[in-house]
C-alpha cells in the first residue's frame, strides 16, 4: 500500500515538473523570451498562428510566467476552445478577445529584418492535468506591399545656351585705354538663334573699368587683366570673362631673332652685290653634279633618252623647287646634244612648271623645234601607281641616264633597282635623309644633304644664286661659333662656379619666349 502511495506521489511530481517546464520555458528559452505590454494594435507584418486545445478547467496564466498579467476577458466553456495567437517580432502588447468558442490573442511588434518567430503556446493546466495539445499552423504569408505611386515622367533636359564675347581677347599698349564698346556679347539659344545680350556692368581684377572704357592701374603696367561682363538672361544674373593683354606692339624677348635675320639679309645682299660686280666665289666640287654632263653625253652616244624625276611633292616643297632648277640645266644640255628628255610627273602643277622650264631651256639653247611637250606628262598622284608607271617607261624606253632629284619616300629603291637592271647611269639626291642610304647603295652618284639645294648655284653660276649660297654659308658658320662659345662657357662654369654669371648673361641674350 505504501508503495502505491509512493508511486502516485512520484507520478504527480513528474507531471508537475513537466508542467513547470512548459510554463517556465518562455522565461528560459531564447525563442520564447518575449516581453509584452498589453493592448497594442495589430500590424500587417509577418505573423504566426497557433491553435491551442484547452481542457475544461478554467484557463489561468501562472504567476511564474515572465509575461505581465494580461487583461483577459474570456468566457471559457466546458468544451475545448481554440485560441488564435498572432505574434510578430518583439512583443509590445497583447489584446485578448474571447468569444463564446474562441480566444483570440493578438500581439503587435516592431519587425526587425532578420527575426521571424514562430511561437507554440503551451496548454494552460492546473496541477497534474495532461499537457495541452499544441497544433501549430503554417505562418500566414505577409501581405504584398502596396504598389508605389507611379512617378511623374522626368522633364526633358534643357539645352544649354552658349554665351560668347567677340572678341574674347583684346590687346592694348601700356599707357592706353581699352574701348569696351566694340565688345559684342551674344547668346546662342537652343533653337540655334543668335541674339545680342546687353551688358549690365563690368568688373576687373586690376585697374578701373566703367561701361565703355578699361584703364590699366598704371601707365607702365604690362600683363593680362581679367574682366567680367555681368548681364541678365532669362531672369538669371550671369558672367562672361574677357581678357585684355597690355603689351608693346612687338615681343621684346624675340628681338634677337630680328637682329639675326637682319644681319643674315645684309650678308646675302652684300654677297650678291659683289658677285654681280664680277667677284668669282669658290664653290667646292660636287661629284654628282659634275657627272651630269657625262651621263647626258653617254645617252647621246647610245641614242637613248634621258629620264628625269622630280619626286612626289608639289611645287610648295623646297626639294621640288631645287629639282626644277636642276631640270633647267639638264634640259639645256639635252637640247644642245639633241637628246630626248622624258619627265613623268606625279603632280599636275609640277607638270605645267616643268613644261615651261624645259621650253625656256630649249629656246635658250636655240632648239625650240626639238621641244616636245608630250615627253613631259602627268601620270597619277598615287605613290605606287606613279612608281608602276615610271617603271613601265624605264622598261619600254630603256633610258641611258636616270636622274632622281627631289622628295622621295619608300619608292626610292624601286626606281634605283629598275634603273640598274637596264644598265642606266643613275644620279640621285633627296632631302629625305631616310632614303639616302638606298640611293647610295643602288645609284652611281648621290647628292647628300644640302648639296641638292646648292646644285642650282653650282650649275648655273648665276650671281644671285652664288651670292645667296655664300650668305647662307656665312650664317651657318656664325651659328656654329655661337654654339661653340655656349658649350665652352657651360663647361667653364662647371669647373669655376664664378663664371656662372657670365654664362647666364650669354644665355639671356639668345633666349626667346
- Give the pLDDT of residue 49: 43
For residues 138-164, average pLDDT: 51
| pLDDT band for position 2 (cuts 50, 70, 90) | low
- Give the pLDDT of residue 245: 86
In terms of average pLDDT, the best of 61-70, 304-313, 485-494 is: 304-313
On the question of pLDDT at 397 being above 80, the answer is yes
Give which of 44, 50, 51, 46 is closest to 141, Cα–Cα.
Answer: 46
CB 357 within 8 A of CB 349: no
In terms of average pLDDT, the best of 53-57, 288-292, 351-355 is: 351-355
On the question of pLDDT at 464 being above 60, the answer is yes
On the question of pLDDT at 44 being above 50, the answer is no
On the question of pLDDT at 203 being above 60, the answer is yes
Please provide the average confidence, as pLDDT, over all residues in the chain: 75
Q: Specify the range with the lowest mean pLDDT, choosing from 67-71, 223-227, 382-386.
A: 67-71
| pLDDT band for position 463 (cuts 50, 70, 90) | confident
| pLDDT band for position 431 (cuts 50, 70, 90) | confident
Report pLDDT digits (tens) over 411-427.
Answer: 999 999 999 999 999 99
Strand order in the sheet with 194-196: 162-166, 184-188, 194-196
Q: What is the pTM of this model?
A: 0.53
Query: In the numeric block, which cell numbers belong to residue 312?
Result: 612626289
Helix (H) or strand (E) segment spanning residue 486: helix 463-495
Mapped onto helix, strand or coil, the DSSP state of residue 115 is: coil
- Give the pLDDT of residue 403: 96
For residues 283-297, average pLDDT: 87
Evaluate whether the domain defined by 162-246 bears CATH number 3.40.50.720: no
CB 188 within 8 A of CB 197: no
Residues 87 and 98: their CA atoms lie apart, in Å, by 17
CATH number of 287-461: 3.40.50
Alpha helices in 365-435 (DSSP H): 383-397, 412-421
Length of the chain counted residue by residue: 513
Query: In the numeric block, which cell numbers belong to residue 391?
Result: 617603271
Report pLDDT digits (tens) over 469-478.
Answer: 888 888 889 8
- Give the pLDDT of residue 468: 87
On the question of pLDDT at 60 being above 70, the answer is no
The domain limits of the chain are: 2-54+67-136, 162-246, 287-461
- Give the pLDDT of residue 230: 86
| Three-state secondary structure of 9-56 | HHHHHHHHHHHHHHHHHHHHCCCCCCCCCCCCCCCCCCCCEEEEECCC
More reliable by pLDDT, 446 or 162: 446
E strands within 124-190? 133-136, 162-166, 169-172, 178-179, 184-188
Query: In the numeric block, which cell numbers belong to residue 149?
Result: 505611386
- Give the pLDDT of residue 406: 92
On the question of pLDDT at 47 being above 60, the answer is no
Query: In the numeric block, which cell numbers belong to residue 117?
Result: 518567430
- The DSSP secondary structure of 270-309, one letter per residue, reads HHHHHHHTT--------HHHHHHHHHHHHHHHHT--EEEE
For residues 188-198, average pLDDT: 79
* Fold match between domain 162-246 and domain 287-461: no
- Give the pLDDT of residue 486: 86
- Give the pLDDT of residue 161: 57
More reliable by pLDDT, 362 or 124: 362
Cα dihedral sign for 232, 235, 237, 240?
negative
On the question of pLDDT at 119 being above 60, the answer is no
Amino acid at each position: 500500500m505504501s508503495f502505491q502511495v509512493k508511486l502516485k506521489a512520484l507520478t504527480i511530481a513528474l507531471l508537475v515538473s513537466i508542467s513547470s517546464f512548459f510554463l517556465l520555458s518562455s522565461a528560459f528559452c531564447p525563442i520564447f523570451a518575449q516581453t509584452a505590454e498589453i493592448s497594442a494594435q495589430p500590424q500587417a507584418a509577418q505573423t504566426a498562428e497557433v491553435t491551442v486545445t484547452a481542457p475544461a478547467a478554467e484557463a489561468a496564466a501562472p504567476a511564474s510566467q515572465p509575461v505581465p498579467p494580461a487583461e483577459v476577458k474570456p468566457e471559457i466553456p466546458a468544451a475545448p476552445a481554440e485560441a488564435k495567437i498572432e505574434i510578430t517580432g518583439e512583443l509590445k502588447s497583447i489584446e485578448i478577445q474571447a468569444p463564446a468558442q474562441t480566444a483570440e490573442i493578438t500581439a503587435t511588434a516592431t519587425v526587425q529584418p532578420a527575426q521571424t518567430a514562430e511561437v507554440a503556446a503551451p496548454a494552460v493546466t492546473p496541477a497534474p492535468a495532461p499537457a495541452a495539445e499544441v497544433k501549430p499552423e503554417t505562418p500566414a504569408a505577409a501581405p504584398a506591399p502596396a504598389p508605389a505611386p507611379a512617378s511623374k515622367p522626368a522633364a526633358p533636359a534643357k539645352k544649354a545656351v552658349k554665351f560668347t564675347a567677340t572678341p574674347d581677347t583684346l590687346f592694348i599698349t601700356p599707357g592706353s585705354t581699352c574701348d569696351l564698346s566694340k565688345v559684342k556679347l551674344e547668346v546662342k539659344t537652343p533653337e540655334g538663334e543668335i541674339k545680342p545680350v546687353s551688358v549690365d556692368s563690368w568688373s576687373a581684377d586690376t585697374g578701373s573699368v566703367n561701361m565703355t572704357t578699361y584703364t590699366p592701374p598704371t601707365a607702365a603696367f604690362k600683363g593680362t587683366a581679367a574682366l567680367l561682363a555681368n548681364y541678365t538672361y532669362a531672369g538669371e544674373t550671369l558672367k562672361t570673362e574677357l581678357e585684355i593683354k597690355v603689351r608693346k606692339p612687338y615681343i621684346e624677348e624675340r628681338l634677337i631673332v630680328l637682329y639675326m635675320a637682319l644681319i643674315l639679309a645684309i650678308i646675302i645682299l652684300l654677297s650678291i652685290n659683289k658677285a654681280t660686280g664680277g667677284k668669282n666665289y669658290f664653290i667646292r666640287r660636287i661629284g654628282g653634279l659634275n657627272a651630269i654632263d657625262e651621263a647626258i653625253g653617254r645617252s647621246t652616244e647610245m641614242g637613248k633618252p634621258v629620264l628625269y624625276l622630280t619626286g612626289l611633292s608639289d611645287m610648295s616643297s623646297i626639294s621640288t623647287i631645287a629639282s626644277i632648277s636642276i631640270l633647267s640645266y639638264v634640259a639645256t644640255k639635252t637640247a644642245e646634244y639633241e637628246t630626248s628628255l622624258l619627265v613623268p610627273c606625279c603632280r599636275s602643277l609640277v607638270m605645267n612648271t616643268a613644261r615651261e622650264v624645259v621650253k625656256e631651256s630649249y629656246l635658250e639653247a636655240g632648239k625650240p623645234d626639238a621641244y616636245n611637250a608630250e615627253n613631259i606628262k602627268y601620270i597619277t598622284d598615287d605613290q605606287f601607281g606613279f612608281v608602276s608607271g615610271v617603271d613601265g617607261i624605264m622598261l619600254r624606253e630603256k633610258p641611258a641616264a636616270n636622274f632622281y632629284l627631289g622628295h622621295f619616300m619608300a619608292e626610292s629603291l624601286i626606281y634605283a633597282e629598275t634603273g640598274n637592271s637596264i644598265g642606266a647611269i643613275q644620279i640621285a639626291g633627296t632631302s629625305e635623309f631616310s632614303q639616302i642610304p638606298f640611293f647610295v647603295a643602288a645609284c652611281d652618284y648621290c647628292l647628300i644633304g644640302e648639296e641638292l639645294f646648292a646644285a642650282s648655284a653650282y650649275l648655273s653660276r648665276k650671281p644671285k644664286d652664288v651670292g645667296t649660297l655664300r650668305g647662307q654659308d656665312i650664317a651657318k658658320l656664325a651659328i656654329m661659333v655661337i654654339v661653340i662659345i655656349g658649350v665652352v662657357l657651360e663647361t667653364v662654369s662647371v669647373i669655376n662656379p664664378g663664371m656662372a654669371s657670365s654664362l647666364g648673361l650669354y644665355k639671356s641674350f639668345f633666349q626667346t619666349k
